[in-house]
Amino acid sequence: MKNLIRIASRQSQLALWQSNFIADLIKKKYPQINVEVIGFKTQGDIILDQPLAEIGGKGLFIKELEQALLEDKADIAVHSMKDVPMTLADPFEICAITKRENPTDAFISNHYDNLQALPPGSIIGTSSLRRQSLIHHLYPGLKIQTLRGNLQTRLSKLDDGQYDAIILASAGLIRLGLESRIKTNMSAYDFIPAVGQGALGIEVLKENNSVIDLVDFLNNIDSRRCVEAERIISKSLAGSCTVPMGAHAIIDDNQFSMNAFVGTPDGEQMIISRGKGEVFNSQKVAHDICHDLIQQGAKEILGI
């Protein structure tokens, strides 16, 4: 067994919290192993003056961490699953998906309790095309402005009065002890989350069997089943940060349920599909939902 596990992480406070969380779990499971978290600055963290969809999408948050794995500077990389591209390069795989934190989006404002309370013309900050599409569709009188930066930077911009409200992932706020900033957790049924939102993924080199075996205990069966099913939707429809789509799955009393949507950035066109079945049929439910979305015109909306 290895006596040192090196974890590659982005350098944001949230990313480091996530990596240290995984490090603590490994140390608790294997007290004899030393664990080191190594921070890397990714292009997604450096380029903050443009919408993510315009500069390359999700891959910008993992490229440098994957390079660290290739160069043997790290043994594993920890990612938010919503930041992981649908297709990984051949040497890599996600070998574990942890128990999911709250997957919803959070409404945050210093003056209003929810989106419904915002007067027409209010400015909402978000960097997500998915959130933009949903807001335009559900609340067409609101204005949206791009919001980039780490979690603390985004909250500071709200507090400085640049926005009337912002939308962030609930999981990040909870993990950093900022749950009190959440005015409302958006309904995952109506305001469908991003694929993989709230779950952490462990990326490794496929050939590194000893490390894969070592971190297998981090896998949460239900979370992995849900996230993998959600990723079927996005992968089948060429999902990335450049198209507005979302998918959210839950398992309750051996029943698997999923909601998914595809829309245009302006929210004028939106199609939604929902399905359920036995847990062991989770991937079939996902494929059926994908087929239904295509039948409703998803590929025409997405231009694929």
Q: Could you tell me the CA-to-CA distances from 130 to 44, 69, 74, 258, 286 in Å, in that order?
A: 18, 31, 32, 17, 19
Whether the Cβ atoms of residue 109 and residue 183 lie closer than 8 Å to each other: yes
Our answer to whether residue 83 is catalytic in this structure is yes
Helix (H) or strand (E) holding 44, with range, is: helix 43-46
Residue 110 CA, chain-centre distance (Å), reads: 25
Quickly count helices (H) and strands (E) in the chain. 11, 13
The tokens for 157 are 């911009």
Candidate list 45, 75, 83, 164, residue with the active-site label:
83
Report H helices in 113-178. Answer: 129-138, 151-159, 170-175
Active site residues: 83
